Structure 1
Amino acid sequence: MTEHTTAPSGLDIVTVDSITDIGRDHWNRFAGTDNPLVSYDFLEALEASGSVSRDTGWQPCHLTFHLDGHWIGVAPAYRKFHSMGEYVFDWAWADAWQRHGQPYYPKLVVAVPFTPCQGPRLLIPGPARADLAPEQLHQALDHLMAREGLHSWHLLFPDSDDQALLASPGTLHRQGCQFHWFNRGYQTFDDFLAQLTSRKRKSIRKERRQVAEQGITFEHWSGDALPDDVLDDFFLFYTATYLKRGMHPYLNRTFFQLLAQRLGKGLRIITASREGQRIAAALFIMGEDTLFGRYWGCLDDYNHLHFETCYYQGIDLAINERLARFDAGAQGEHKLVRGFEPVTTHSWHNVAQPGFRDAVAHFCQEEAEDVARYREAALEALPYRQEPQESAGRYSS
């Protein structure tokens, strides 16, 4: 645990070098059970497997929050030595900073590694949260940045509860856009299709039919009953997806094995098979009200297989499990015509150098205006027969 001095705001942040220094009981007391992506089991599996470490450029630096001598919360955080695996891209910032002879890395990133999913980041329960103001939080993070000798901090993909605790005039606030599917009480996939225009409904049915006509079938596997050969095949497909792009995968087999053991029925792998051989797979994680579609892979190309495995099978799973939302990951305008709705994502940042900070603030303002226009255009392109009602919940915007 780091030495510390109290920030001017009265809120103090102390860092630890591993989530094991906090322990499962303490971490989960603050994290709760609604979102498995911020659970002790998920984050510790990243560390235990070596997927996050100084060697991979993700050095654990988890935050513990203290107010008036009381421990009030935690947050997943890392010293980052590059900008990979974050999905809020600051490569241009790093390049500009370094061209002026200043080191951009390491930086402090408050996030779930390799996970562009909105959710809680400031794991501070309600009573203590009510005593905090956004200015206190920003001052405490700035104080931590200076104390640790870092040049910037970045808090990625917070939910609306955290956004309310971060929103403050003059702060560096970025926005992006993702596409999420919302379950409006559907009992079957056909109930969902009935809400689409005739043309889009026929298009999706045609895609699903063409997958079946290729002789492709699907199986669902639960983490608590996952055969080794299924995990082996999934990891092969996952790795191939990265190698096709000339990249090494972020995660290793040990991580997925630990995750299956720890999440049990909360983890699902859906495999696609043809002529008795598995040809593709996708991994999903279930939270209290949300299905997270995380990783996928396939060795060869098959017509519409990606859409079926990652989206339509996921929608079926969300309906069957009575989940309110399906977050299928970052980017992907192709999700829009398949009923996934545009959702604004958020991140907060600060940089130590005043002149550079002014340039970043201008960039964030212009980017937010572009994102707002993009989202409005995406809403108009949704394939529903009637405009969907505003999606309720902590993740909609």
Structure 2
Amino acid sequence: MDSSEITLEAVPSVSEIPAADWDACANPAGASPMPATSFNAHSKTAYNPFVSHAFFSALEASGSACARTGWGPRHLLARIEGEIAGILPCYLKSHSQGEYVFDRGWADAYERAGGRYYPKLQSSVPFTPATGPRLLIRNDFDRDEIGTALASGVVALCEMTKASSAHVTFAREAEWKFLAARGFLQRTDQQFHWRNQSYRDFEDFLASLNSRHRKAIKRERREALASGITIHTLNGSDITEDAWDAFFAFYMETGSRKWGRPYLTRTFFSLIGESMADNVLLIMARRNGRWIAGAINFIGSDTLFGRNWGAIEHHPFLHFEVCYYQAIEFAIRRGLKTVEAGAQGEHKIARGYLPQTTYSAHYIADPDLRRAISEYLKRERAYVAEAGRELTEAGPFRKTAEPS
């Protein structure tokens, strides 16, 4: 189709977009768990729970991501003959909180120079540092054409909203390259992911580690449960409102210490419990008849995504058991390829989680700010690449010659 037939529209709520249309773009039916190797390989990507209509709806309907909290929805739609062909999830933001790709230094420098950095546009899943598709395009449309229209559309939306910039964060590498070819600056960072090498069970995974790390993990797992703690995995209908109440108390306690004001409301958890419980895994710790700690995970077709953790009692190594080792055991049982354990944390390397590059793309309207950021990002990309190589080399896995 000729690109002149594409019309663009920004809508102020995910509720204005039919769930079937959104999900047909975000998670096309029949998607198989194969990584996209090029921008045109979307039909072979895996199911990602974070880009589902249900997840965005829970964020917005619960008051977690809304104009009042500084996340004003401006979801960009591309239509052809009235049919939604593509979506760029997008928010008009008045701050840089809840993003995990840090641009506060850019904002401070620009404002010291007399500029106005906020508002800005943010294409991401709020409060969720997990890689996934950002240019959501139906399988039966030309991806280059629709993707180009969405990229041009968010630039035009910057001008319309008087935003300083547009940021597409935790994008897939193919989208990162696609947007770079259309004038966006390229940024990288790293997380730590666990890869399933067709392990039979947790012991088989341990056998792949060198003896020092293998012994350390066994000791940590023993000591984590030494105080009479039991671990429970809850999924689907097993997750009751009582369990959500307990988990929310953990989330508030830990979130208040880390961020001052936790991002997600109690209603958010009830909503995802209603709409996507089969894609949720709560790993909960219990002692003396009450829940004392827990972690929430989301289940994709090939990936377990670890998200929030919290506790009201603190015991040695319990965080590692609940967040890392239990996640690995679940992934092995389910035959999942990857565990993504969230943002940051080099301590994850000793637990078998290795560096993985993450990607974001940035449109900066002011040419002077753009030049300064471009130079900075060249140096940052080189640093991230070198750090990833060094950290991978220092990983806990056995060298070929080491006996098991």
C-alpha separation in 2, matches of 1:125 and 1:198: 48
1:91 to 84, 104, 128: 104
Q: 1:98 to 1:162 in 2, by over 3 A?
A: same
Contact 2:76–2:154 (Cα < 8 Å) also in 1 = no
The reply on whether 1:293 has 2:306 as its aligned counterpart is: yes
The answer for the alignment partner of 1:218 in structure 2 is 231
What's the offset of the Cα at 1:243? 1.8
The answer for the alignment partner of 1:190 in structure 2 is 203
The reply on whether 1:42 has 2:55 as its aligned counterpart is: yes
What's the offset of the Cα at 1:69? 7.3
Contact 2:186–2:359 (Cα < 8 Å) also in 1 = yes
Map 1:63-142; keep pairs closer than 5 Å.
63-66=76-79, 71-132=84-145, 138-142=151-155
Q: What value does the CA root-mean-square deviation take over the aligned residues?
A: 2.0
What's the offset of the Cα at 1:320? 1.2
CA displacement 1:183-232 (0-9 Å, x = unmatched): 11112111111111111111101100111222211111123232222111
1:26 to 21, 35, 45: 21
% identical aligned pairs: 43
Residue 131 of structure 2 aligns to a residue in which SS? coil
C-alpha separation in 1, matches of 2:22 and 2:147: 23
C-alpha separation in 1, matches of 2:180 and 2:370: 17
Q: 1:349 to 1:288 in 2, by over 3 A?
A: same
Between 1:139-148 and 1:355-364, the stretch displaced more is 139-148
Contact 1:337–1:381 (Cα < 8 Å) also in 2 = no
CA displacement 1:316-355 (0-9 Å, x = unmatched): 1111111111111000101111111110001000111111
Contact 1:221–1:268 (Cα < 8 Å) also in 2 = yes
Q: 1:175 to 1:312 in 2, by over 3 A?
A: same
C-alpha separation in 2, matches of 1:199 and 1:339: 13
Map 1:227-238; keep pairs closer than 5 Å.
227-238=240-251
Residue 150 of structure 1 aligns to a residue in which SS? coil
TM-score (norm 1): 0.91
The reply on whether 1:306 has 2:319 as its aligned counterpart is: yes
The answer for the alignment partner of 1:316 in structure 2 is 329
Contact 2:135–2:147 (Cα < 8 Å) also in 1 = no
CA displacement 1:153-183 (0-9 Å, x = unmatched): 0000012342342232863110001000111
1:247 to 260, 264, 270: 260
C-alpha separation in 2, matches of 1:227 and 1:69: 41
Q: 1:198 to 1:11 in 2, by over 3 A?
A: farther
Q: 1:297 to 1:9 in 2, by over 3 A?
A: farther
The answer for the alignment partner of 2:10 in structure 1 is 15
Which amino acid is 2:380 matched to? E
Which amino acid is 1:252 matched to? T
Residue 348 of structure 1 aligns to a residue in which SS? strand
Contact 1:59–1:80 (Cα < 8 Å) also in 2 = yes
C-alpha separation in 1, matches of 2:269 and 2:230: 23
Contact 1:223–1:261 (Cα < 8 Å) also in 2 = no
Map 1:127-206; keep pairs closer than 5 Å.
127-132=140-145, 138-168=151-181, 171-206=184-219
Q: 1:75 to 1:133 in 2, by over 3 A?
A: closer
Q: 1:48 to 1:16 in 2, by over 3 A?
A: same
What's the offset of the Cα at 1:138? 4.1
Which amino acid is 1:371 matched to? V
Q: 1:69 to 1:254 in 2, by over 3 A?
A: closer
Between 1:69-78 and 1:235-244, the stretch displaced more is 69-78
Which amino acid is 2:356 matched to? V
Contact 1:210–1:303 (Cα < 8 Å) also in 2 = yes
What's the offset of the Cα at 1:25? 1.3
Q: 1:279 to 1:368 in 2, by over 3 A?
A: same
What's the offset of the Cα at 1:143? 2.2
The answer for the alignment partner of 2:35 in structure 1 is none
The answer for the alignment partner of 2:342 in structure 1 is 329
Which runs of no fewer than 5 residues in structure 2 stay unpaired?
A: 29-46
Which amino acid is 2:26 matched to? A
C-alpha separation in 2, matches of 1:83 and 1:293: 22
Q: 1:129 to 1:187 in 2, by over 3 A?
A: farther
Aligned length: 380
Contact 1:9–1:139 (Cα < 8 Å) also in 2 = no
Which runs of no fewer than 5 residues in structure 1 stay unpaired?
A: 1-7, 388-397
Which amino acid is 2:19 matched to? R
What's the offset of the Cα at 1:66? 3.8
The answer for the alignment partner of 1:265 in structure 2 is 278
C-alpha separation in 1, matches of 2:182 and 2:399: 37
